[in-house]
Each structure stands twice: as C-alpha cells, then as structure tokens.
C-alpha cells in the first residue's frame, strides 16, 4: 500500500467533511459557496489519490479527466449561485 | 436502430443551440425539435418493445473505456413520458411567456433541460450520470429563477445549494466505486458488485445525494418554495419530470447495479421515509393556502408512494408477483408525471385569469374556466388514485404487494394517503364552484387549455385503460 | 527526492492544506475567507502536481483558484462590509442557543462519522491488491486516439461525451446568469502601474493560452486550461477598467458561446451520418478533429467564463451598465472609449 495514496485519500475525506459541516452550519451564503467548493476539492483529492500509482508508474488518467470535468462543473455552479445571490441582494435593496 | 439513443440527446441539444443563435425563429425550432424528439422516443419505445434492451457505445469504445448509452423498457417508457409532457408544456409556454424577449431567454434553457433529462435516462456510466445530474440541476435552477421576484430567486438559490450538496455526495460514492471496482459502467458493475463495505458505503452516499434531489422526506424542504414560485410550465416540468429523474436513478441503482448489496433494513428505511413523505406531504397539501403549494406538497406525497415500493420489492422473490409490483411502480410514476404536469398548467391558467392562486378565493372558477377546472379534476382523480387512472392500478399493486408480504404498515399508509389526497382535491374543487350561472362555452382559451386537458386525460384515463403494455415492456428490464 | 523527504513534504503540504481549509471555512470575515480559499487553491495546485496530475494542477490554478476566486471577490464587492466577531459558527436555524449548540454538535459528529467511514473504506480498498483499473485500456488505445497525452485522450476521445455535456453545463449556467439581468458595473480606470501591468499581462496570457491549447495534445494542457487562461486575460483587462474587453457584439457573442458545444455536436453527428459511431473519430483524422474541437471549446470557455465574471448581460457597446446602489464603490466609468482589445478573439 502506498502511503502517499492513503495519506492524500484520508485528507480528502477530512476536507470533504470540513466543507460539508460548514455548508450545513454557516449562515453566510458566500461561506456556503466556499464550503461547497471545499467539499468538491475533498472529493477531487480522493479521486487523484486513487489515480496515483507511485513515483515510478504513470498515474491513471481517467480520474484526472473526471476531476477536470468536476472543476469546470464546480465553477459553473459557483457562478450561477453568486449571480442568484446578487439578484437576491438587488431584490432586497428594492424593498 | 440503436442510433435513436444518441439522437434523443442530440436533437434537443441542437435545438437549444439553434434557439440561442436564431431567436427570431425560436418558437418554430422548439416545436420542430420537440416533435422530432417525441418521434425518436416513440421509435425507441417500439424498438425496445420488439428487440429488447439496446446499447450504444459512444465513439465505438467498449463500455468501460468509453461511455455507453442504454435503454430498456423502463427508460423507454420514461423517455416517452418526458416527451409527451414536454410537448404540451412547450405549447403552453408559448402563450404563458407572451413577450418574445422572455421566450428568447426561456427556450434555450428549456431545451437544455430536455437534453439533460434524456441524457440522464440513457446514461450507462456512473460519472456521466453525475454530469447529467449537474446539467439537470443547473438547468432546473436557471428556469425556476426566471419567475423573478424575491421568492422565486430565494427558492432557486436554496434549490441550487441543496442540489450541489447532493451532487457532491453522489460523486463521492462514484469515486468509491471506481476505487473498489475499477470501472464506471453500470452493466459491468451489476455483474461484479458484491455485498460489502465498499458497495454499501458507495450506495449510501449516492442514495443520500439522490434523495436530496428527489425531495424524499425529510429532505424535501426545498421543493415547495421552488415549485411554488417558479413559472407554471417550469413547475410542471420540475414536479413531473426532474424529481422523477432522481427517483429513477435510485431505482436503477437499488434494483440493478447494487441489487446484491441492498439489505432489507435499508429498503425498510426508504419505506419509512416514503411513509413519512406520504403522510406529511398530504397533510401539508390539505393545509395549503395556495394552489401551487398544494400541488408541490402533493408531489412530495406522491414521491413517497414510489419509495414505499422498495421494502415490497426487497421482500418479494423474483417472479410474477415482483414483476407486477415493478409494473405498478412504473405506472404510478408515469401517471403522476402526466397528472402533476397537467395540474400545474391548469393552475397557471387560473393564476393568469384570476391574478392569484389562493384556494379560498377560487369562487366561480369552474364557471369561468370550465375546461381548466375539468382538467384539474381529472388530475385530482389521478392523484387520488381513482379508477380508471393509472394510479389506481399502481396503488392496487402497492396494496397487493404489501398484503402479500405481510407488511401491513405500507398498506395502511397508502390508504390514509389516498384519503388525504381525496380531501385536498375535493377541497379545491369545492372552492372552485361558485354561484354563478353556467357558461355556454367549455373552452375559454384553446391554446392555453388543451395542453393541460390532454395531460390530465392521459393520466386519468389513458394510462389506466391502456396500462397492460407497460408490463410487457418491462419484462426485458428489471 | 528520496522517499523520506518526500513523505515529509507530503505531511507538511497536507497539514498546510487542511489548515488553510479550516481557516478559510472558520474565518469570521467573508473577505478573509475568500482570500484564504484562493491561497488554498494554489496549494492544491501544488498537491495535484505532486500527485503527478499536471493537467489538473493547471486547471486548479487557473479555474479553481483563479476564476473562482475572482468570482467570489466580485461577489464580495457587493456585500456591505460586516465584521461580525463570533459569526464564525452562525447557525442557519433560529432557536435557543442550546438548540444551536446541540445542532452544531450533531452535525459535526455526523460529518466526522462520514469522514471516518469513507476513510476506513478507502483504507480497506488500498490495502487489497493494487488494481490497474482503466490504465491498461487507455494505454492500449492511446495510439489510435490521435493524441499522446492520455488525459486529453480520455477527455476528448474516449469519454468525449462527458466533455460535450460538461460544455453544455457551462453554457446552461451562463444562460441562467444572463437571464437574471444586466451585468456588474465596470471598475474605474486603473492607475498607471496597474494599467501597465494589465497591458503587458493580457497579450502574455493570450500567448500562453494559445500555447496551452497546442501543447495539450502531447503534454499537460488542453482546451480547459487554455480557455481559463484566456478568460483570465479578459478578467485582468476588466479589472483594469476596460468595459467591453474586446468581446464581440451580441450576435457574434452568441456564436462564440455556442461554438464549443455546437462544433463538438456537429463533428459527432457528421461522423454518425457518415456511418461511424457518434464521436468515433477515424484514427487518421483524430488528432486534427480533436484540435479543431478544442479550439472552439477554448473560445467558448473563455467567453462564458468572462461573461460569468461580468455577471450578466453586457451593456451596449460603449455605454457603461447602470448598477443599483448596493455596490460599495461607485465604479461607473464615464464615457470609457470602447477598448478594442481585439486580439483576444483570434485565439490561435
């Protein structure tokens, strides 16, 4: 068992849990968006740890592609969430 | 013939791009794309009925390295339902969004949503499912926010955040599966998955994410505000199709991919949550002040019925009884899709003509909008589960299965739920009849009203009378 | 690097990452949180590089840290500044503080439990026989895929359908954003230092993006990284006070936005109509087709990400967008002559 692989995978789990906790508990919308991004990062770390096969062998490219896709999806969702928040602020200001 | 699978995704996607590039002919493009997709769905249904399940390997790469699309009886039926709901809803949207500028913003998102639904139902790859789930979620949120106004935007934002949480959980489950089994193809996984901690945890993560997206009690809190403040055609599609897609995935994962890893305890948990959904959703619907909220809570309840099937299916051994139960489940899902869509469209018409959808002030709607009220009544028949609706057959199977396996609790819940449904439907209809004279014309505005009528008739009558083919089609799949 | 020092590096890096993540999530101030998040993104890029995932590292730096950070900072700009000491653990539900504390504890325990279970399962998997998973299949087919970078091969060939849908996801998000209303007001014209920096950065970023696109076929890089870098050029110019930053007018802009998905779909359908499977590139043409698709995708990605940063519909050419008074700084430029940074759109 590669220690690096396990180390990164476990850290990924930890980060995912941290993100989840803040996403559920914190009230600020911006913080929740950051927390969901951090949660995503945790999952990406797990995937990349799965892909790592040690310093000698080339890593598994499929999880790399999956994480790339995931990063783009995450930024799309972040952009939409922030735009909705902005519109909400504008609605509040008009009241 | 198996090309149909990719055309079902390509046509609405191409349509979306065309409406974006050529907004002036967008109305015509949407109708054309819609009809073409419906024809493709019909072709697929015919193909699956005659030849059995179909697979399409994209790029020619074998499933595993590449992504495979699959269709069997279940997905073909749901794809047909999607097409038959989206078409009338599209016609309705043309009248609903009166300004061309509004429609220009609406159509691309609408067709992208259709693309997402089709892509999700056809996908045979777990990560591809994640991408389609995200496409579906973002599209639904964007459409829900089109209503403008603080309530809609706030509800849409909550929907988005909840959806993202769900997607992340789903992705975590997918990562575990890839780590443990080295493939993402669902057909291959169905063969190699064994009961154990890997499969169990992965299934739990994925299910948790999907339960958030299908609004199963107690994770339903985001649904009533979102469906209640979205524009009418969007609410129709959200309740009828989008939450159904998430449920379909739970069904697929539990009955096929992870069939060996599912435990009776887990199935019972889903059943308990479903029972909670039925009772809580029906109760809140009964207490609802607005028609749209009533319909939204009704969706929560109806989805509960679908989840009640899980403990039954777990307890029934493979055989004719189990197949009957699965058929009932599918019929119930199909009926609810049509009924809820039609109901939301009808509510939209009421809101448009009366300026509000408060139930207590519906006085005289039956006289002013007879066709619309009739559509609502038909939808109500299907939601309660009265014959000859498809829901009657579905609930009958639910009761039969519950009695046969000795799980009386689910039977009791179904009966109470149906009673509550009858209560809230009749409450609405009661308020709708006022003291005015009856009109001479049945239909007020044809282009607005016939889509709603068509959908609810499908639910209340057609699916019940013509329900037998459903069982035949499902023989190939689950 | 010998194994011991590599492990030490790993431990230090992971501790920093977890520390930054926690600091960002627990910070009392939203602004601080966002900045820490951006720093986290850069450390993550380092971690991805360490895990031999340079493609992902590039994308994380450009998109995860860079563009997400820019989006969050732009959103921060519109919030009234609030120093709320003790707002760290603000709970969404109202109720007695005892209920709040209990909810916090329950959620924390559940999340810890989740992390524990996931970690345990992963340990269980890694302790078993090392699996090759899909590495064999990829390397066996890499020769006919048209590119020699395995990640690009997976993204654009083997699992191209995923990429097609992902481009659709990006498009959907931006359409949703555009439907919500006009974009953010621009920034005031930059002072001489920042202006000079922007002037030299923008062409550099454009060149780098073109290089990333080209090199993605045989080395780390590709359409996403290139598109993000190009978008970064747009963001930098916008921050320096330019209004239209060379984005084409309405009709052409729609064309650019849809070009990625459109071309991808068109190539797939053409192949289908020619009798091949959907997106089944003939091996002789695969490299060229992938490059064409990636070029269109790069332009689309750049345009959509910049539009996402602007946050809505662009004002008509030359007229600054009006903005409700919620913005902290009145940043409406007066009569900014439309800047023709036209080189952006010529891509490679």
> pLDDT, tens digit, for every residue of C237-249?
999 888 777 788 8
Residues 210-239 of B with CB under 8 A from C: none
Domain boundaries, chain C: 146-348
- The answer to whether C279 and C271 are in contact (CB under 8 A) is yes
Q: What is the mean pLDDT of chain A?
A: 92
Burial class (CB in 10 A: 0-12, 13-18, 19+), C26: middle
* Ordered structural domains, chain A, with CATH: 3-93 (1.10.287)
CB pairs under 8 A between A and C: 252
Alpha helices in B405-467, H assignment, sequence order: 408-432, 446-457, 463-465
Please answer yes or no on whether C72 and A30 come within 8 Å at the CB atom. Answer: yes
Measured CA to CA, the distance from residue A9 to residue C294 in angstroms comes to 32
**Chain B contact set for A32 (CB, 8 A):** 161
- Per the CB < 8 Å rule, is C305 touching A75? yes
- pLDDT grade, residue C333 (50/70/90)? very low
Distance from CA of B198 to the nearest CA of C (A): 6
The CA angle C218-C221-C227, to the nearest 5 degrees, is 135
| C-beta atoms of B160 and A81 within 8 A | yes
Is the Cβ pair A37, C324 closer than 8 Å? no
Positive or negative: CA dihedral B320, B322, B323, B327: positive
The residue among C55, C61, C111 with the most chain A CBs within 10 A of its CB, best to mutate, is: C111
Nearest to B344 by CA among B298, B300, B303, B301: B298
pLDDT score, position C344:
40
Query: How far, in Å, CA of B126 to CA of B59, rounded?
Result: 17
Instruction: Render each residue's pLDDT in chain B as its tens digit; 478 residues.
Output: 889 999 999 999 999 999 999 999 999 999 999 999 999 999 999 999 888 899 999 999 988 899 999 999 999 999 999 999 999 999 999 989 988 888 999 999 999 999 999 999 999 999 999 999 999 999 999 999 997 789 999 999 999 999 999 999 999 999 999 999 999 999 999 999 989 999 999 999 999 999 999 999 899 999 999 999 999 999 999 999 999 999 999 999 999 998 888 888 999 999 999 999 999 999 999 999 999 999 999 999 999 999 999 999 888 888 888 888 899 999 999 999 999 999 999 999 988 888 888 888 887 777 778 888 888 999 999 999 888 888 898 999 899 888 888 888 999 999 999 999 999 999 988 888 877 777 777 777 777 788 888 888 888 888 888 777 888 778 755 4
For residues A49 and C52, give the distance between their C-alpha atoms in angstroms, rounded to a whole number.
10
Residue A56 Cα, gap to closest chain C Cα (Å): 10
CA distance B10 to chain A (A): 20
Of chain C, the percentage scoring pLDDT greater than 70 comes to: 85
Q: Are B310 and B271 in contact (CB under 8 A)?
A: yes
- Write the DSSP symbol of residue C89: G
Contact call for A89 and C78, based on CB within 8 A: yes
Q: Is C342 exposed, middle or buried (0-12, 13-18, 19+ CB in 10 A)?
A: exposed
Supply the pLDDT for residue B26. Answer: 92
- Tell me the nearest-neighbour CA distance from B134 into chain C, angstroms: 7
The total number of structural domains that make up chain B: 1
For A34, nearest residue in chain B (alpha carbons)? B161
Average pLDDT over residues C158-174: 96
Domain region containing B375: 263-478
Residue contact B141–C276, C-beta within 8 A: no
Query: To the nearest whole angstrom, how far is the Cα of A44 from the nearest Cα of chain B?
Result: 9
B145 to C179: CB separation less than 8 angstroms, yes or no:
yes
What's the token pair of residue C68?
A: 């997400």
Q: Are A75 and A68 in contact (CB under 8 A)?
A: no
Nearest CB partner across the interface for A73, out of B134, B145, B179:
B134
Q: With contacts defined as CB-CB under 8 Å, which chain B residues touch C282?
A: none
In 3D space, the residue among B108, B114, B109 whose CA is nearest the CA of residue B85 turns out to be B114
Q: Per-residue b/e over C205-240, b at no fewer than 16 CB within 10 Å?
A: bbebbbebbbbbbeebbbbbbbbbbbbbbbbbbbbb
Q: In this complex, which of A33, A77, A87 lies closest to B153 when CB atoms are compared? A: A87
Q: Return the pLDDT at C185.
A: 79
- Which of the pair, A10 or A1, is modelled with greater confidence? A10
User: Chains with 3 or more CB pairs closer than 8 angstroms to A?
Assistant: B, C
List of chain A residues whose C-beta atoms are within 8 Å of the C-beta of residue C25: 18-19, 21-22, 26, 31, 34-35, 38
pLDDT over 60 at C330, yes or no: no
- Say whether A8 and C324 touch across the interface (CB within 8 A): no
Q: Across all residues in chain C, what is the average pLDDT?
A: 85
**Nearest CB to C258; choose among B20, B57, B67:** B20
3-class DSSP state for residue B123? strand
Residue C331, pLDDT above cutoff 50: no
C325 pLDDT more than 60: no
List, for residues C24-81, the tens digit of each pLDDT value.
999 999 999 999 999 999 999 999 999 999 999 999 999 999 999 999 999 988 776 5
- Report how far residue B357's alpha carbon sits from residue B293's, in angstroms, rounded to the nearest whole number: 9
Q: Which of C208, B208, B470, B182 is nearest to A20 (CA)?
A: B208
CB C337 within 8 A of CB C186: no
Paired strand residues for B63: B66
Nearest CA-CA partner of C157 in C250, C5, C278 = C278
Number of Cβ atoms within 10 Å of the Cβ of C77: 17
All partners of chain C with 3 or more CB pairs under 8 angstroms = A, B
Residues of C in contact with B141 (CB under 8 A): 176
Q: How confident is the model at residue C96 (pLDDT cuts 50, 70, 90)?
A: low
Q: Look at residue C316 in the predicted model and tell me its pLDDT.
A: 56
Q: Which residues of chain A does B138 touch, with a Cβ-Cβ cutoff of 8 Å?
A: 76-77, 80
Flag whether pLDDT at C115 surpasses 90. yes
Query: In chain C, positions 257-276, which contact chain B (CB-CB < 8 Å)?
Result: 257-258, 261-262, 265, 268-269, 272, 276
Residues B466 and B473: their CA atoms lie apart, in Å, by 13
Facing residues of B95 across strands? none
pLDDT in tens, A40-84: 999 999 999 999 998 888 999 999 999 999 999 999 999 999 999
- CA angle (B340 as vertex; B385, B35 as ends), nearest 5: 120
Residue to substitute from B64, B175, B230, interface A, most A β-carbons within 10 A: B175
Average pLDDT over residues C278-285: 92
Closest CA to B259 of B324, B338, B305, B193: B193
In this prediction, does ipTM exceed 0.95? yes
Cβ C79 vs Cβ A30: under 8 Å? yes
Cα separation, B257 vs C105, whole angstroms: 35
SS3 for B65? coil
pLDDT at res. B441? 72
Which of these, C116, C280, B174, lies nearest to A63 by C-alpha position?
Answer: B174
Contact A36 B168 (CB under 8 A): yes
What confidence score (pLDDT) does residue B457 get? 83
* Cβ pair B59:C168 closer than 8 A: no
Residue listed under structure tokens 């849409």? B156
d(CA B23, nearest CA chain C) in Å? 10
Q: For residue B267, tell me if it sits in a domain.
A: yes
Determine, yes or no, domain membership for B235: no
The predicted pLDDT at position C95 comes to 53
B175 to chain A: which residues are within 8 Å by CB? 43, 46-47, 50, 63
Cβ neighbours of B444 (radius 10 Å) = 15
């Amino acid at each position: 068992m590669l220690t690096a692989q396990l180390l990164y995978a476990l850290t990924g789990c930890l980060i995912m849990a941290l993100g989840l906790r803040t996403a559920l508990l914190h009230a600020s919308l911006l913080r929740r968006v950051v927390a969901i991004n951090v949660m995503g990062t945790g999952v990406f770390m797990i995937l990349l740890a799965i892909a790592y096969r040690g310093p000698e062998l080339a890593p598994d490219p499929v999880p790399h592609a999956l994480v790339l896709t995931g990063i783009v999806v995450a930024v799309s969702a972040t952009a939409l969430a922030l735009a909705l928040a902005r519109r909400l602020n504008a609605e509040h200001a008009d009241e | 013939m198996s090309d149909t699978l990719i055309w079902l995704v390509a046509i609405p996607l191409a349509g979306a791009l065309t409406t974006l590039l050529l907004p002036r002919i967008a109305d015509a493009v949407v109708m054309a794309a819609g009809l073409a997709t419906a024809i493709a769905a019909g072709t697929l249904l015919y193909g699956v009925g005659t030849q059995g399940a179909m697979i399409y390997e994209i790029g020619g790469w074998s499933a595993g390295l590449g992504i495979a699309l699959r269709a069997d009886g279940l997905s073909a039926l749901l794809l047909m339902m999607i097409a038959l709901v989206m078409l009338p809803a599209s016609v309705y949207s043309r009248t609903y969004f009166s300004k061309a500028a509004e429609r220009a913003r609406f159509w691309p998102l609408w067709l992208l949503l259709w693309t997402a639904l089709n892509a999700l139902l056809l996908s045979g790859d777990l990560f591809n499912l994640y991408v389609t789930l995200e496409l579906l979620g973002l599209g639904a949120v964007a459409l829900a926010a089109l209503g403008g106004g603080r309530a809609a935007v706030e509800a849409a934002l909550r929907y988005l955040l909840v959806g993202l949480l769900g997607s992340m959980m789903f992705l975590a489950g997918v990562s575990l599966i890839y780590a443990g089994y080295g493939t993402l193809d669902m057909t291959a996984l169905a063969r190699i998955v064994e009961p154990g901690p890997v499969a169990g945890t992965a299934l739990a993560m994925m299910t948790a994410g999907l339960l958030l997206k299908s609004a199963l009690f107690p994770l339903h809190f985001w649904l009533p505000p979102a469906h209640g403040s979205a524009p009418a055609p969007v609410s129709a599609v959200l309740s009828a199709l989008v939450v159904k897609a998430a449920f379909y995935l739970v069904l697929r994962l539990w009955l096929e991919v992870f069939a060996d890893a599912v435990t009776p305890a887990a199935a019972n948990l889903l059943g308990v949550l479903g029972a909670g959904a039925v009772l809580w959703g029906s109760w809140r619907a009964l207490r609802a002040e607005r028609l749209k909220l009533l319909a939204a809570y009704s969706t929560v309840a109806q989805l509960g019925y679908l989840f009640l099937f899980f403990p039954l299916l777990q307890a029934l051994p493979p055989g004719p009884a189990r197949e009957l139960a699965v058929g009932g489940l599918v019929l119930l899902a199909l009926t609810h899709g049509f009924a809820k869509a039609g109901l939301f469209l009808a509510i939209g018409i009421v809101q448009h003509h009366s300026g509000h959808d408060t139930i207590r002030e519906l006085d005289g709607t039956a006289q002013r909008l007879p066709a619309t009220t009739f559509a609502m009544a038909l939808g109500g028949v299907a939601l309660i589960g009265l014959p000859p609706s498809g829901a009657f057959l579905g609930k009958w199977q639910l009761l039969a299965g519950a009695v046969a396996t000795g799980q009386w609790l689910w039977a009791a819940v179904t009966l109470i739920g149906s009673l509550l449904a009858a209560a809230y439907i009749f409450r609405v209809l009661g308020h709708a009849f006022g003291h005015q004279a009856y009109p001479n014309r049945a239909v007020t505005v044809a282009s607005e009203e016939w889509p709603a009528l068509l959908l609810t008739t499908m639910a209340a009558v057609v699916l019940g009378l013509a329900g037998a083919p459903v069982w035949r089609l499902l023989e190939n799949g689950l | 690097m010998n194994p011991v020092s590599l492990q030490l590096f790993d431990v230090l890096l992971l501790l920093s990452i977890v520390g930054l993540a926690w600091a960002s999530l627990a910070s009392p101030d939203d602004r601080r949180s966002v900045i820490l998040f951006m720093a986290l993104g850069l450390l993550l890029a380092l971690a991805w590089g360490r895990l031999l995932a340079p493609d992902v590292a590039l994308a994380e730096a450009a998109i995860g840290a860079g563009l997400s950070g820019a989006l969050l900072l732009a959103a921060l700009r519109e919030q009234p500044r609030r120093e709320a000491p003790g707002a760290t653990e603000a709970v969404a539900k109202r109720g007695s503080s005892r209920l709040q504390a209990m909810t916090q504890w329950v959620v924390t325990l559940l999340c810890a439990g989740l992390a524990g279970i996931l970690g345990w399962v992963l340990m269980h998997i890694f302790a078993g026989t090392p699996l090759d998973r899909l590495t064999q299949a990829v390397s066996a087919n890499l020769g006919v895929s048209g590119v020699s970078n395995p990640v690009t091969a997976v993204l654009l060939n083997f699992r191209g359908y995923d990429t097609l849908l992902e481009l659709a996801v990006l498009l959907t998000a931006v359409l949703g954003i555009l439907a919500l209303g006009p974009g953010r007001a621009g920034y005031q014209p930059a002072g001489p230092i920042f202006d000079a920096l922007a002037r030299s950065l923008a062409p550099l970023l454009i060149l780098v993006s073109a290089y990333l696109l080209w090199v993605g076929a045989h080395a780390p890089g590709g359409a996403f990284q290139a598109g993000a870098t190009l978008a970064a050029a747009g963001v930098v110019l916008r921050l320096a006070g330019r209004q239209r930053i060379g984005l084409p007018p309405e009709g052409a802009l729609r064309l650019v936005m849809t070009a990625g998905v459109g071309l991808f779909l068109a190539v797939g359908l053409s192949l289908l109509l020619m009798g091949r499977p959907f997106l089944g590139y003939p091996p002789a043409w695969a490299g060229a087709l992938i490059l064409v698709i990636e070029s269109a995708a790069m332009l689309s990605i750049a345009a959509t990400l910049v539009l996402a940063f602007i946050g809505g519909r662009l004002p008509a050419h030359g007229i600054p967008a009006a903005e409700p008074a919620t913005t902290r700084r009145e940043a409406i430029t007066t009569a900014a002559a439309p800047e023709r940074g036209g080189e952006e759109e010529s891509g490679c």
